[in-house]
Amino acid sequence: YEYFPRTNLVTIDNIEATRDITTHLIATGKRRLAFISPQYHYGYRIKFAQDREYGFRRALEENGIEINNDNIIRTSFETAAGNFEEYIANTNSLITELLSRPEANRPDGIVCTNDEIAACCINVAKKMGIKIPEELAVTAFDNTITCLLTDPFITSIEHPNYEMGYESAKLLISVIDEKPKVSKQVLLGHKLAKRGSSIRIQ
């Protein structure tokens, strides 16, 4: 894992996590899958986004599903830093274009790299009369409060926040004590919180 050279890091295995969430969609019968992520040009965000796209592509290949590069969508993260409303508007526009394709070419599942993009997908789809999760399943990353502010709730990858804090504190103490001579990068496990955006909840 290469993020910042010579820098300690605690994170999840983003490749494996995206592989898991994509495989989850495939297991529900989805085949026309799309991937939506911010652009790849913001320091360590680059590596997270790239790893998640790699995990998405690997899951498709493992399940014999052809990769459609037209379904790889990248939003403009530049606007998020200065104007969040502009970022959401830009994201909504890209999603509207994606979901306006003829039904045979329209995605029936979307892997989003954060909960905010997933919320945009749900809001746009509902305005277009697309049923979730029957006609479109949506998944995300981070499992923030945003996942519980949509109808249906969002299926999302959950980070082990307690363990990440614990391991980060251990690394910090070791740096203060000047014990390590090389940087250490710790990969932790993840959980998939399954909700109504990808499966029917009775």
Residue 177 lies in a domain: no
* pLDDT tops 90 at residue 113: yes
Residue 86 lies in a domain: yes
Averaged pLDDT of the chain: 88
Provide the pLDDT confidence category of residue 1 given band limits of 50, 70 and 90.
Answer: very low
Residue 8 lies in a domain: no
Boundaries of domain holding 142: 13-158
User: Dmax over Cα atoms in the chain, in whole Å?
Assistant: 61
Between 14 and 48, the higher pLDDT residue: 14
CATH of the domain at 37: 3.40.50.2300
DSSP H helical segments within the chain, as ranges? 14-27, 44-62, 78-82, 84-99, 115-127, 161-176
The tally of domains found in the chain comes to 1
* pLDDT tops 80 at residue 4: no
Provide the pLDDT confidence category of residue 84 given band limits of 50, 70 and 90.
Answer: confident
